[in-house]
Structure 1
């Protein structure tokens, strides 16, 4: 029921038409208070008509993509990224800790693989308890 309260808060914010959703808010679950924080999750997707490149050029773009992801991780904008383990249309996931969706869109649109038309991206606001981590 309490988890529903956090979701209800988010629905209320959208319903009331606030121009800017707060990036953090407290959420009480029993004796524990979590600070919920907005992140931006991106799904890297296969491009149907990607350019046909020779293996050397494709490898160069892939290395530039990895270097770009690494640089965004070092800057703190990118929290986690990685490919999916199958050969589906969804190629990977990224999670950004930036102030706005526009900022996340701007970062990913400058990814060499996206700029080269090798990957597409779909970005969504995503909420998690501040300090959440993979175990």
Structure 2
């Protein structure tokens, strides 16, 4: 990122100096002495005015209280607690984990099974894009439970409805088993 900003800055400097072309060539380090300010993606040239290259929107992080109020207003179940180690307030949210289990109807031919798989993946992608599902994926074995989807919706009824609209479920190739599941809001996998 710093190299890209430096190159852009150099190009701007060269273009601005085009009218005052010199007969001699000076080393580039003598012509341009710039510093890159990563906090706001700007380039400063030896104390002169700042040229803004890319403006980052400043987003103030919501407080746990604000986030909890928003989620509660949307019908989500939440609770919070104080982490003893960090003294941070941790907001827990109820999600719904759907286990996609091997269904009773598995006699589709290869072409039909492939079509259903493509529709299944498109459905899961749509759930993610719409913000209804946060994580989906298959298990790595050939067991009865084929995969999971974690739904980020306020009710089990809604999660059940979304999960059962999956083309693989509708065809009977997969069955759904849903359970409420709690996770800390904003934490990520590592």
TM interval, shorter chain, is 0.7 to 0.9
Does residue 128 of structure 1 match 2:190? no
> Which runs of 5 or more residues in structure 2 are unaligned?
1-74
1:115 to 161, 167, 170: 170
3-state SS in 1 of match to 2:158: helix
| Count of residues paired in the alignment | 114
Deviations 1:26-56 (A, max 9, x none): 1112112100111001111012x31411110
Return the alpha-carbon distance in structure 1 between the equivalents of residues 108 and 76 of structure 2: 44
Return the alpha-carbon distance in structure 2 between the equivalents of residues 80 and 124 of structure 1: 15
1:42 to 87, 92, 98: 98
Report the TM-score when normalising by structure 1.
0.81
Query: Whose strand proportion is higher, 1 or 2?
Result: 1
Report the TM-score when normalising by structure 2.
0.58
What's the counterpart of residue 145 of structure 2?
90
Aligned Cα RMSD in Å? Answer: 1.3
| Structure whose CA Rg is larger | 2
Misfit runs of 4+, over 4 Å: none
Q: Which structure ranks higher in relative contact order (CA pairs < 8 Å, sequence separation ≥ 6)?
A: 1
